[in-house]
Copies of this chain bind each other. A is one copy, B any other.
């Protein structure tokens, strides 16, 4: 049996009762974090532009969008939730393959559930399977796909969203094969967009492509038999990978939700060890920007490729700068939304400190999961801090209470304290909802 068909068979045979309890709880953590991050980004300038652009193109169905009062059809709601949940780079990441799985799957699911009655049990099940499909494919083509320049959140997220929506729309095995093939031929998203708003299009656009693929397949549209593994299919063309057998290995035993990470800092995940170490140095030594003569960051090799932008003018660009992550940590002792904003990008003290920072990948014992921050002060001190596991990593995860606090921080400015608290409680028990749309309606902003 070929890989696309074998994967399709496993997806359609999956049942909610198969999901282990710990995985089910991790799904609630991911979904709660997802909704919180959508609030964080729901009034971002990128979001305002997309809302304005799509307004004339929305069909008769009127679906709510997280944190907004405007309503759109389900397909456009997917794009909008994708932008808001990803634009701040505050959403979750699977550290072993760098994919942001929840933003793509979550946005597709929320759009669909706004227009169709979906139980919390089916919703959570679809999310778990979509997440697993995303991460399994991401693993099978890692690192060649990512290193080639693809932003897998879009280019692979489309498969997980297809699996999730395909489950909710009850595709047959043949239809799921077609849907995965129709998804493959829409797989897109380039890392060249990092630092611009265009990056935030990836999850929503992939979610829309998945939605279209599933609806078309359900209606009898035909696709290739081997969309994933064929000679001109996804893995060969977009990763140069020939074997995808690992995609279905240990299916139903291993769940990659167990390896998901939730960000305490809204920036590229490979910068997190730097931020964490820098905050620790700030706190220990009461550092200020003008006390620091020079900073030397020892990081993993991929950080130089992903997060070492030479020119920082906007908040979106700060998210991909290890030097900026060090500067805010060292100078402010914080790495919150305000530290990765347009204001922080232009702050003269931070700008000068970035200019006194060198980023090197010269220590083979340091991977992308670690960092060492060396500081020399004007008064002659040499300070150093090494972080092996940053706060928010799989080995040092945010607690449920920390995730709740992150949610409230982002939702409260939109909903006020009482509604934000009510909504986070609904999210933590979304698997018990009779109709998920009741949760979505509680997430819609007052007009």
Q: Give the interface of A toward B (CB within 8 A).
A: 45-46, 49-50, 52-53, 56-61, 73-76, 148-151, 154, 178, 181-182, 184-199, 201-202, 205, 209, 212, 215-216, 219-224, 226-227, 230-234, 236-237, 314, 316
Query: Can you name 25 A-B residue pairings with CB atoms under 8 Å?
Result: A45-B220, A46-B222, A49-B216, A53-B215, A56-B59, A57-B59, A149-B232, A149-B237, A178-B198, A181-B198, A182-B201, A185-B188, A185-B190, A185-B193, A185-B202, A186-B188, A190-B233, A191-B237, A192-B232, A192-B234, A193-B224, A194-B232, A196-B222, A196-B224, A198-B221
In the complex formed, the residue of B with least CB distance to A58 is: B59
Q: In the assembled complex, which residues on chain B have CB atoms less than 8 Å from the CB atom of A222?
A: 46, 196-198, 314, 316
Please indicate the chain B residues that have their CB under 8 angstroms from the CB of A182 in the complex. 198, 201
| Contact of B61 with A56 in the complex, beta carbons under 8 Å | yes
Q: Which chain B positions have C-beta within 8 A of A45?
A: 220
Contact B149 A216 (CB under 8 A): no
**Which chain B residues lie closer than 8 Å to A190 at the CB level?**
184-185, 187, 224, 227, 232-234, 237
Q: In the complex, what residue of chain B is closest to A59 when comparing beta carbons? A: B57
10 A-B pairs besides A56-B59, A198-B221 with CB distance below 8 A are A49-B219, A59-B59, A149-B232, A178-B198, A185-B192, A187-B190, A191-B232, A192-B233, A194-B232, A197-B223
User: Is A221 a contact of B46 with CB atoms below 8 Å?
Assistant: yes
CB proximity of A226 to chain B, nearest CB, Å: 7
Q: With the chains together, A209 CA to B202 CA distance in Å?
A: 12
- Cβ A50 vs Cβ B181 within 8 A: no
Residues of B within 8 A of A58 (CB): 59
CA distance in complex: A19, B194 (Å)? 37
A184 to chain B, nearest CB (A): 6
Contacts of A201 in B (CB 8 A): 182, 185-186, 216
Residue of B nearest to A306 (CB): B232
Alpha-carbon gap, A190 to B182, bound state (A): 10
A192 to B182, CA, bound (A): 10
Q: In the complex, are the beta carbons of B192 and A231 less than 8 A apart?
A: yes
Residues of B within 8 A of A73 (CB): 56-57, 59
CA distance A120 to B351 in the complex (A): 52
Q: Contacts of A221 on B, CB cut-off 8 Å? A: 46, 49-50, 53, 197-198
In the assembled complex, the CB of A88 is this many whole angstroms from the nearest CB of chain B, namely 15
Cα-based distance from A39 to B332 in the complex (angstroms): 64
Residues of B within 8 A of A209 (CB): 205
Question: A222 to B44, alpha carbons, bound, how many Å?
Answer: 13
In this complex, what residue of B is CB-closest to A188? B188
Which listed residue, B148, B181, B192, B220, touches A193 by the CB 8 Å rule? Answer: B181
Chain B residue at minimum C-beta to C-beta distance from A200: B221
Nearest B residue to A229 by beta-carbon distance?
B192
Chain B residues whose C-beta falls within 8 Å of the C-beta of A181 in the assembled complex:
192-193, 196, 198
Give A189 to B238 CA distance when docked, in angstroms: 11
Q: How many angstroms between the C-alpha atoms of A164 and B227 in the bound complex? A: 31
Closest CB in chain B relative to A417 CB, distance in Å: 33
Closest 5 CB pairs of A and B: A149-B232, A191-B232, A149-B237, A192-B233, A192-B232
Q: Are B185 and A189 in contact (CB under 8 A)?
A: yes
Residue of B nearest to A61 (CB): B56
Q: Is the CB of B53 within 8 A of A216?
A: yes
For A227, the closest partner residue in chain B by CB is: B192
Question: Which of B56, B186, B198, B226 contacts A205 (CB under 8 A)?
Answer: B186
B-side contacts of A219, CB under 8 Å: 49, 52-53
